[in-house]
Structure 1
Amino acid sequence: YPCAVCHRSYVTLSSLKRHSNVHSWRRQYPCRFCDKVFALAEYRTKHELWHTGERRYQCALCGDAFLTYYSLKSHQKGAHG
């Protein structure tokens, strides 16, 4: 299901509908730390992690923690093969 505005593709129609809020003018979830406002609460929550430095993704092999899932996977591939 491609987005008509930005052309990103989604696996389900419900995901596309949720994404469409990003392009609406109804941005109702302000960041508690800066002036950014988000269309979805989950986007705001992920953004706020950059302000707090909270590291939610922990490596099961060594215990190091990371801000993003991508960073964790990159670490695991590089450090643990």
Structure 2
Amino acid sequence: MDKQHIFNEIQTIMVKLFELDADDIKLDTKLYEDLELDSIDAVDLVVHLQKMTGKKINPEVFKSVRTVEDVVNAIDQLLKNQ
């Protein structure tokens, strides 16, 4: 799964979960400032990403995530560490 595919999956999840416009979700979009996600939204996102990847996501990894690209990179790294 390449980064573009990961981004597309994350974008789809965010549109469904948070009723966001796909056009508002870009790599440099800030999760908390631009998309107004909160900590509960972040937990929901992690749960869906775990389902998508079939991997357990370490919460420590997601504490430093600020942008959509950070999420893509974290998932990419998780999948490479199989």
Establish whether TM, by shorter chain, passes 0.5: no
What TM-score do the two structures reach when normalised by structure 2? 0.26
Q: Which has the higher contact order (CA 8 A, sep 6+)?
A: 2
| Larger strand share, 1 or 2 | 1
| Larger helix share, 1 or 2 | 2
Larger Rg: 1
